Amino acid sequence: MEALKELIKKEGKYLGNGILKVDSVINHQVDAAVMLEAGAEFARRFAPLSPTRILTAEVSGIIPALTTAYAFRVPLVFARKHKPITMKDPTFLEVAPSHTKGGQVSLMVSSEFMKAEDRVLIIDDFLASGQTLAALARLVTNAGATLLGIGTLVEKTFEGGRELLSDLDIPIESLVIIDALQDDGTIVFAE
Amino acid sequence: MEALKELIKKEGKYLGNGILKVDSVINHQVDAAVMLEAGAEFARRFAPLSPTRILTAEVSGIIPALTTAYAFRVPLVFARKHKPITMKDPTFLEVAPSHTKGGQVSLMVSSEFMKAEDRVLIIDDFLASGQTLAALARLVTNAGATLLGIGTLVEKTFEGGRELLSDLDIPIESLVIIDALQDDGTIVFAE
């Protein structure tokens, strides 16, 4: 997606140790119009799959997942990291290692919002190690629902996420693909 | 806003102790189309103020703030509760007592995304005690920016938030106003 790629080209900063700073685009400040466009693009790519629900993990995944849910006119569900006091029903729980914080994060979805008859599309901001996405995929499977595909705004191909997720045997679509982050600060985009 | 009110009427559950469960509408599952409509409604109400930035706090505020930012065609900034490793610049920090978790939560905004020349509209999901909104307002003031107004999806008038925020002397708009939560489970909406 050209608009998102141009934004990352202009605003993204490589901080070293594989960490790409896109705070001004995705993680802290957000260009809402570009995110609506991203949602429409996911809807175009995954249209034949007819999802009934879009699933993501809080926090940064919420925005592209919302705009995708809007484009498909289906509900968004975001997995919670902490159990809110309002979550009373039986809950599906998975854990994933945290890429940026160390330790593990919990991902919880109430059984109210993930049914066996659901056809689920997972949307997130990054495809890096793929660990969070794999945990979301397990949540879908544990709920007995059908996992249709995974879409992410930005894929870092050199962190092995796509390989980790290949066993799922579902389409994985990324709107911007980064092949390398170089020590001189260059972000190498896939063509 | 009638569509949101009808959703809360249909889906909201009063759990006692002042806690309204709207997990299926705002906090866990989200109706994206209603949230786009909410953003357009905030833009209509606050149009004369011409904000340059929409500010909210993660997590649940992000969705109505995104759709408001989209309607105004200005950037969204969401205050982070935990400092991400990508946040390197000087940072404005405020703390607010947590309504639902106890203890305090930190709210951080990088100085990159809150400038003295900014005209800021704060959008959040709930106006209850007003403590989080007051902390966001202090962030804006500390940045030297101009605070224009506050918009929330749902106001619980009996928790005193509007009174707490009255010193700010800015317009406060809520799309759905709840005057009471009764022990028999009735949600009393303002007319």
User: In which element (H, E) is residue A128 found?
Assistant: none
Paired tokens of B84 = 């991400």
ipTM of the complex: 0.91
The alpha carbon dihedral of B160, B161, B165, B166 has a sign of: negative
Give the pLDDT means over successive 10-residue stretches in chain A (191 positions).
93 88 89 96 97 95 97 96 82 85 88 96 96 97 97 96 97 97 93 80
Q: Does A70 touch chain B (CB under 8 A)?
A: yes
Q: Does B16 touch chain A (CB under 8 A)?
A: no
Report the pLDDT value the prediction gives residue A109, as an integer from 0 to 100. Answer: 95
- By mean pLDDT, which of A63-72, B74-83, B169-178 is the weakest? B74-83
- Looking at CA atoms only, how far is residue B166 from chain A in angstroms? 28
Which one of B11, B13, B21, B28 would you mutate to disrupt binding with A, by most A Cβ within 10 Å of its Cβ? B28
pLDDT at B101 over 70: no
CB contact under 8 A, B62 and A67: no
Instruction: Check residue B161 and report its DSSP letter.
Output: H
3-state secondary structure of B140: helix
CB contact at 8 A, B111 and B90: yes
Report the pLDDT value the prediction gives residue A191, as an integer from 0 to 100. Answer: 80
Q: How far is CA B106 from the centre of its chain?
A: 16
Give residue-wise pLDDT tens across range B121-161.
999 999 999 999 999 999 999 999 999 999 999 999 999 99
Average pLDDT (B111-129) is 96
Say what the pTM is: 0.94
